[in-house]
Amino acid sequence: MEAPKPYIDSGALTILSGILNILTGGAICLSLLIVCVGVLWVVPMAIGVFQVVVGIAMNKGQRHGSAGYIGILGLVAGILNFNPLAIGAAVLTMINVKKPEVAGYLEGA
């Protein structure tokens, strides 16, 4: 069974959101490191790396167990990074993954 187009599109959006979360989290981390608050942004950066890994698998059309909730993680990281572009990409990912053809594909039907 071939992966549906919304699933592959979700992979690209997840990669975009992950890269934005990594870059924004890294910039905030480096800029606030001197006041010892910057290390808090390591968590959104780690979520961004996870998003990129899952997004690459999704973009290749591979079923991934985290595909159902990767949008939620991206949304949380985007909010922590105050990044509206990452938030938007994560919301679009969540919308695409909830489509019936994608849900059927993830269930293996």
- Cα 21 to the center of its chain, rounded Å: 8
Q: Give percent of the chain above pLDDT 70.
A: 99
Q: Decide: 53 and 44 in contact? Cβ < 8 Å.
A: no
- pLDDT at residue 71 is higher than 70: yes
Look-up: residue for tokens 């592959």?
A: 8
Domain contains 8? no
Domain contains 97? yes
Domain contains 98? yes
- pLDDT at residue 44 is higher than 70: yes
Domain carrying residue 90 = 13-107
Going by C-alpha positions, the residue among 87, 102, 101 that lies closest to residue 11 is: 102
Domain contains 37? yes
Binning the chain into helix, strand and coil, the percentages to the nearest 5 are 85, 0, 15
Tally of domains within the chain: 1
pLDDT reported for residue 93: 95
Q: What average pLDDT is seen over the chain? A: 92
CA–CA gap between residue 44 and residue 2 (Å, rounded) = 32
Domain contains 20? yes
Give me 30's structure tokens: 């480096």
User: In the predicted model, what is the mean pLDDT of residues 89-97?
Assistant: 95
Phi, psi of 10 (to 5 degrees): -60, -35
- pLDDT at residue 26 is higher than 80: yes
CA–CA gap between residue 72 and residue 103 (Å, rounded) = 16
Domain contains 77? yes
Look-up: residue for tokens 């608050």?
A: 37
- pLDDT at residue 109 is higher than 60: no
Domain contains 29? yes
Domain contains 7? no
pLDDT reported for residue 38: 78
